[in-house]
Structure 1
């Protein structure tokens, strides 16, 4: 499977033993809108909050992300095949900053694993998390990962715990209603992970 994402140069590559090479390529809002739309709109991705979005709206959203210096989006690929959408952000410049005391070097993460061909594969999400952690902490300025899954998303919360995240409080991320972006209020469970070297 070849996509526009696989034709661009990745910004990070990580080999997971027994799983394969995982690459991180910045999202191209125009080229990747179709792929992302197919991932974010099904019922399985309901907690991503874009179930009713059109392809055009998905492109507009990621064009907005692309314009920002504090928020980033990447296609994660395994052996060249896109498998997940990752978003990272500076917690101090995001609505999450209204919900907890942000520390220098806090990096927020959102991960959406795409539908897998051939059904679920044991260890798949855990291997992707290993690559994600290596990617985020490859930047020496990153001192802690912060996740904020929907508090009703027990599957994601369980995965974070199994990966080593420490659960924090339940919060409500405030609504954002701006001309270029609208985010409804969201009940979330905070979770934190320090770099492996510090654990």
Structure 2
């Protein structure tokens, strides 16, 4: 359960019953197939079979993060781009070895350390999706979008179904301390609420010692709810509610 840091884890609804149809012989004899269906039945290519939805496919537990699209922010156009290990490992490793990041993420070291952290998510069931935060086509941050209700965090607070958590670090030193964390957190929270209709709350648990992170979350519309004693830190439970979104 890596710390959130602004400075730097269903069933298919059954189809409704069909409208009743007559069972009399006369109705059956008079029934005519639509022209569109006749064309399909007489075409050379077979009708494609409907593929069952795999609810544990990568990203499905989070409503396909890769397809969420862009958000327009005061700093530019922002997108979440799911991590590809071969492409992104050197960059994320460099960020994790920045002392300001390592103090809260505890992932400093060779690429193998970062790779193991990323691979645990990439090879999982999709309950946590690691992403690059890309601003105007430049990767400047790292995010983890995760199902807080399915995470060990849920043992430490009154979780609700589909609670969605956010971890964040800002990679470049020059990008810190100028309000960019607030801008990106607001954009990501809005993306979550826009694309996860079942989610009523966005959750975060930054380290209590990380005062710039706490400030960024509160400025981005999160409210402080409680202090949490987690296995690796004492954290602030921060929540952004869908119900209060119009007031922010």
Common fold: TM-score over 0.5: yes
Q: 1:198 to 1:93 in 2, by over 3 A?
A: farther
Larger radius of gyration: 2
- Give the strand-richer structure, 1 or 2: 1
Mapping 1:1-199, distance limit 5 Å: 11-16=68-73, 18-45=74-101, 46-51=103-108, 53-68=109-124, 69-117=126-174, 120=176, 122-138=178-194, 139-174=196-231, 185-195=232-242, 196-197=245-246
Alpha carbons 1:11, 1:25 under 8 Å: kept: no
Alpha carbons 2:149, 2:162 under 8 Å: kept: no
After TM superposition, give the deviation of residue 11 of structure 1 in Å: 4.3
Give unmatched runs, 5+ long, in structure 1. 1-8, 175-184
If the length of structure 2 is used for normalisation, what is the TM-score? Answer: 0.66
Give unmatched runs, 5+ long, in structure 2. 1-65
Alpha carbons 1:83, 1:116 under 8 Å: kept: no
- Which protein has greater RCO, CA pairs closer than 8 Å, 6+ apart? 2
Deviations 1:4-44 (A, max 9, x none): xxxxx77421111x421111110112221111011111111
Mapped partners of 1:120, 1:170: distance in 2: 25
Alpha carbons 1:12, 1:25 under 8 Å: kept: no
Deviations 1:119-149 (A, max 9, x none): 6574322221232122211221221011001
Mapped partners of 1:19, 1:156: distance in 2: 18
Q: 1:158 to 1:140 in 2, by over 3 A?
A: same
Aligned-pair RMSD on alpha carbons? 2.0
Mapped partners of 1:99, 1:130: distance in 2: 24
Mapped partners of 1:27, 1:14: distance in 2: 18
If the length of structure 1 is used for normalisation, what is the TM-score? Answer: 0.82
Mapped partners of 2:186, 2:208: distance in 1: 23
